[in-house]
Amino acid sequence: MTWYEKLNEYFPIEEMKSKEHFEILLDEKGNIYHKDESEDHVLMYAEYEQFIFVDYVYVSSKARGKGIGKQLIGQLKTKGKPIILEVEPVDYEDTDTAKRLRFYERENFQHAKTIGYEKKSIATNEVNPLEILFWSPIDEDEELIYEKMKKTYVDIHTYKDKEIYGESYQPVDQVFKRRKRETDIFEDANELQST
Protein backbone atom coordinates (compact mmCIF):
# COMPACT_ATOMS: atom_id res chain seq x y z
CA MET A 1 0.00 0.00 0.00
CA THR A 2 1.39 3.45 -0.91
CA TRP A 3 1.67 6.28 1.61
CA TYR A 4 -1.31 8.00 -0.02
CA GLU A 5 -3.44 4.86 0.10
CA LYS A 6 -2.66 4.50 3.82
CA LEU A 7 -3.77 8.06 4.53
CA ASN A 8 -6.80 7.82 2.26
CA GLU A 9 -7.98 4.61 3.92
CA TYR A 10 -7.53 5.94 7.46
CA PHE A 11 -8.72 9.55 7.30
CA PRO A 12 -12.31 10.60 6.51
CA ILE A 13 -12.85 11.96 3.00
CA GLU A 14 -13.76 15.42 4.33
CA GLU A 15 -10.29 15.73 5.90
CA MET A 16 -8.23 14.36 3.01
CA LYS A 17 -6.26 16.24 0.40
CA SER A 18 -6.13 14.81 -3.10
CA LYS A 19 -2.99 12.98 -4.18
CA GLU A 20 -2.36 15.81 -6.65
CA HIS A 21 -2.54 18.37 -3.82
CA PHE A 22 0.03 16.41 -1.78
CA GLU A 23 2.32 16.04 -4.78
CA ILE A 24 2.16 19.76 -5.58
CA LEU A 25 2.90 20.64 -1.94
CA LEU A 26 5.86 18.24 -1.82
CA ASP A 27 7.17 19.54 -5.14
CA GLU A 28 6.48 23.26 -5.00
CA LYS A 29 6.62 23.77 -1.23
CA GLY A 30 9.28 21.13 -0.55
CA ASN A 31 11.28 23.65 1.43
CA ILE A 32 8.59 23.56 4.15
CA TYR A 33 6.25 20.62 3.39
CA HIS A 34 7.64 17.18 4.21
CA LYS A 35 6.74 13.49 4.16
CA ASP A 36 8.27 10.97 6.58
CA GLU A 37 7.21 7.39 5.98
CA SER A 38 7.95 3.77 6.73
CA GLU A 39 5.98 0.56 6.38
CA ASP A 40 4.25 1.39 9.67
CA HIS A 41 3.74 5.16 9.52
CA VAL A 42 3.16 8.27 7.42
CA LEU A 43 3.84 11.76 8.76
CA MET A 44 3.03 14.81 6.64
CA TYR A 45 4.07 18.16 8.10
CA ALA A 46 5.04 21.73 7.33
CA GLU A 47 8.07 23.14 9.09
CA TYR A 48 8.25 26.90 9.25
CA GLU A 49 10.99 28.95 10.88
CA GLN A 50 8.82 29.60 13.95
CA PHE A 51 6.60 26.47 14.20
CA ILE A 52 5.67 23.04 12.85
CA PHE A 53 2.23 22.10 11.57
CA VAL A 54 1.42 18.38 11.59
CA ASP A 55 -0.91 17.79 8.66
CA TYR A 56 -1.37 14.01 8.97
CA VAL A 57 -0.06 11.28 11.29
CA TYR A 58 -0.85 7.68 10.44
CA VAL A 59 0.41 4.65 12.36
CA SER A 60 -0.68 1.24 11.08
CA SER A 61 -3.01 -0.73 13.32
CA LYS A 62 -0.40 -3.50 13.74
CA ALA A 63 2.17 -0.96 14.95
CA ARG A 64 -0.05 1.01 17.35
CA GLY A 65 1.00 0.84 20.97
CA LYS A 66 4.66 0.30 20.06
CA GLY A 67 5.77 3.89 20.59
CA ILE A 68 5.98 4.95 16.94
CA GLY A 69 3.66 7.95 17.40
CA LYS A 70 5.59 9.01 20.50
CA GLN A 71 8.85 8.70 18.57
CA LEU A 72 7.55 10.77 15.63
CA ILE A 73 6.24 13.55 17.88
CA GLY A 74 9.46 13.36 19.91
CA GLN A 75 11.55 13.93 16.77
CA LEU A 76 9.51 17.05 16.01
CA LYS A 77 9.82 18.28 19.60
CA THR A 78 13.63 18.16 19.37
CA LYS A 79 13.43 21.02 16.85
CA GLY A 80 12.40 23.28 19.76
CA LYS A 81 9.45 24.88 17.95
CA PRO A 82 5.74 24.95 18.75
CA ILE A 83 3.87 22.05 17.13
CA ILE A 84 0.30 22.59 15.96
CA LEU A 85 -2.20 20.03 14.70
CA GLU A 86 -5.89 19.54 14.00
CA VAL A 87 -8.05 16.86 15.60
CA GLU A 88 -11.66 15.79 15.30
CA PRO A 89 -13.90 16.71 18.22
CA VAL A 90 -14.73 13.87 20.61
CA ASP A 91 -17.14 11.48 18.92
CA TYR A 92 -19.10 9.54 21.50
CA GLU A 93 -19.73 6.80 18.93
CA ASP A 94 -16.03 6.45 18.01
CA THR A 95 -13.80 5.68 20.98
CA ASP A 96 -10.71 6.08 18.76
CA THR A 97 -11.14 9.85 18.96
CA ALA A 98 -10.70 9.65 22.74
CA LYS A 99 -7.64 7.39 22.36
CA ARG A 100 -6.01 9.85 19.95
CA LEU A 101 -6.72 12.73 22.31
CA ARG A 102 -5.32 10.83 25.31
CA PHE A 103 -2.13 10.25 23.28
CA TYR A 104 -1.70 13.98 22.63
CA GLU A 105 -2.52 14.80 26.24
CA ARG A 106 0.24 12.39 27.39
CA GLU A 107 2.56 14.21 24.98
CA ASN A 108 1.73 17.49 26.79
CA PHE A 109 -0.30 19.07 24.00
CA GLN A 110 -2.75 21.78 24.99
CA HIS A 111 -6.18 22.45 23.55
CA ALA A 112 -6.52 25.88 21.90
CA LYS A 113 -9.94 26.48 23.44
CA THR A 114 -10.31 30.00 22.03
CA ILE A 115 -9.90 28.97 18.39
CA GLY A 116 -13.00 27.92 16.50
CA TYR A 117 -12.29 26.02 13.27
CA GLU A 118 -14.95 24.96 10.78
CA LYS A 119 -13.88 24.14 7.24
CA LYS A 120 -16.32 23.22 4.51
CA SER A 121 -15.22 20.10 2.67
CA ILE A 122 -15.02 20.39 -1.09
CA ALA A 123 -15.44 16.60 -1.33
CA THR A 124 -18.66 16.38 0.72
CA ASN A 125 -19.87 20.00 0.80
CA GLU A 126 -20.35 19.59 4.57
CA VAL A 127 -18.90 21.73 7.34
CA ASN A 128 -16.18 19.86 9.18
CA PRO A 129 -15.54 21.13 12.74
CA LEU A 130 -12.02 20.55 14.02
CA GLU A 131 -10.13 21.43 17.18
CA ILE A 132 -6.59 22.77 17.42
CA LEU A 133 -3.98 21.21 19.70
CA PHE A 134 -0.51 22.58 20.29
CA TRP A 135 2.69 21.80 22.13
CA SER A 136 5.26 24.45 22.84
CA PRO A 137 8.68 24.49 24.50
CA ILE A 138 7.77 27.96 25.78
CA ASP A 139 4.50 29.35 27.12
CA GLU A 140 2.93 30.09 23.72
CA ASP A 141 -0.04 32.43 23.66
CA GLU A 142 -3.17 31.14 21.87
CA GLU A 143 -3.28 34.35 19.84
CA LEU A 144 0.05 33.35 18.26
CA ILE A 145 -1.26 29.82 17.61
CA TYR A 146 -4.33 31.38 15.99
CA GLU A 147 -2.15 33.44 13.62
CA LYS A 148 0.06 30.45 12.80
CA MET A 149 -2.98 28.30 12.03
CA LYS A 150 -4.36 30.95 9.68
CA LYS A 151 -0.99 31.06 7.89
CA THR A 152 -1.02 27.26 7.55
CA TYR A 153 -4.54 27.28 6.17
CA VAL A 154 -3.53 29.71 3.41
CA ASP A 155 -0.08 28.21 2.70
CA ILE A 156 -0.99 24.52 2.85
CA HIS A 157 -4.71 23.73 2.90
CA THR A 158 -5.80 26.19 0.21
CA TYR A 159 -2.61 26.18 -1.87
CA LYS A 160 -3.70 26.05 -5.55
CA ASP A 161 -7.12 24.76 -4.43
CA LYS A 162 -9.02 26.21 -7.42
CA GLU A 163 -6.52 24.66 -9.85
CA ILE A 164 -6.61 21.26 -8.11
CA TYR A 165 -10.28 20.94 -7.11
CA GLY A 166 -12.00 23.29 -9.55
CA GLU A 167 -13.22 25.49 -6.70
CA SER A 168 -11.76 27.34 -3.75
CA TYR A 169 -11.99 26.62 -0.07
CA GLN A 170 -13.57 29.29 2.13
CA PRO A 171 -11.53 32.40 2.93
CA VAL A 172 -9.50 32.08 6.13
CA ASP A 173 -11.65 34.58 8.06
CA GLN A 174 -14.72 32.37 7.49
CA VAL A 175 -12.95 29.25 8.75
CA PHE A 176 -11.25 30.49 11.93
CA LYS A 177 -13.07 32.38 14.66
CA ARG A 178 -12.19 33.46 18.16
CA ARG A 179 -14.52 31.84 20.67
CA LYS A 180 -15.04 31.19 24.33
CA ARG A 181 -15.15 27.49 25.14
CA GLU A 182 -15.72 26.40 28.70
CA THR A 183 -14.51 22.80 28.52
CA ASP A 184 -11.24 21.37 27.37
CA ILE A 185 -11.39 18.68 24.67
CA PHE A 186 -9.20 16.48 26.87
CA GLU A 187 -11.90 16.60 29.56
CA ASP A 188 -14.43 15.44 26.96
CA ALA A 189 -12.11 12.56 25.96
CA ASN A 190 -11.57 11.54 29.59
CA GLU A 191 -15.32 11.57 30.16
CA LEU A 192 -15.84 9.28 27.16
CA GLN A 193 -13.18 6.84 28.27
CA SER A 194 -14.61 6.63 31.79
CA THR A 195 -18.08 5.65 30.53
> What is the span of the domain harbouring residue 173?
3-194
Task: Report the domain count for the chain.
Answer: 1
DSSP assignment, residue 55?
E
Reduced to 3 states (helix: H, G, I; strand: E, B; else coil), residue 181 is coil
Residue 24 to residue 195: CA distance in whole angstroms = 44
93-102 pLDDT, tens digit each: 666 777 889 9
pLDDT in tens, 33-78: 999 999 999 999 999 999 999 999 999 989 988 999 999 999 999 9
pLDDT averaged over every residue in the chain: 92
pLDDT band at 195 (very low <50, low <70, confident <90, very high): low
β-strands 33-37, 41-47 pairing: antiparallel
CA dist list (Å): 190 to 106, 114, 155: 12, 20, 34
List all residues 6 or more positions away from 18 whose beta carbon is below 8 Å from its beta carbon: 164, 165
Other C-beta atoms lying within 10 Å of the C-beta of residue 9: 10
44: domain CATH number is 3.40.630.30
Task: Report the C-alpha gap between 87 and 102 in whole angstroms.
Answer: 12
pLDDT digits (tens, 9 = 90+) for 79-92: 999 999 999 887 76
Residue-wise pLDDT for 170-179, tens only, equals 999 999 999 8
* Mean pLDDT value across residues 106-122: 94
